[in-house]
Amino acid sequence: MARYSPRIACFIGLQTGRIVLDYVMRSRPKSERPTFSPGLQPYKLVHSKPRNGSAEAGSETVFYSIPSTSGKTQGYQIPDKVKLFTQLGVDLKMLKDGNLVTANLVEIMP
């Protein structure tokens, strides 16, 4: 991610999102950690300088987590998944347009 500096990285499968959130927030007391939920995650990767044609310095990657697209995932049905993917598209457009507020997301460095 540090090399290509994508605007959004999406975990397909909620368990991966939970693991990464726990890792990113490991320095905070458990009582101060955000509760995991699907969708936009409460952290971002800040890119300090461009690398090999990647995004400009100071750009960032935000993270999403969406339930597995497998039909075996029973906790979320197709309409639920469609809503989350639709919101992902809306948020990506807002990010590209400069309208997605990310100031409150915890910064992680590459």
pLDDT at 85: 94
pLDDT in tens, 42-100: 999 988 765 555 545 458 899 999 998 887 777 888 898 999 999 999 999 998 898 99
Task: For tokens 């990310």, name the residue.
Answer: 102
Amino acid at position 92, single letter: L
pLDDT at 51: 53
Separation between Cα atoms, residue 12 and residue 60, nearest integer Å: 20
Q: Where are the domains of the chain?
A: 8-108
C-alpha pair distances (Å), 105 with each of 40, 41, 79, 81: 10, 8, 28, 24
Separation between Cα atoms, residue 7 and residue 60, nearest integer Å: 6
C-alpha pair distances (Å), 99 with each of 8, 21, 31, 47: 14, 24, 31, 19
The pLDDT confidence band at residue 104, using thresholds 50, 70 and 90, is very high
pLDDT at 2: 75
pLDDT at 110: 67
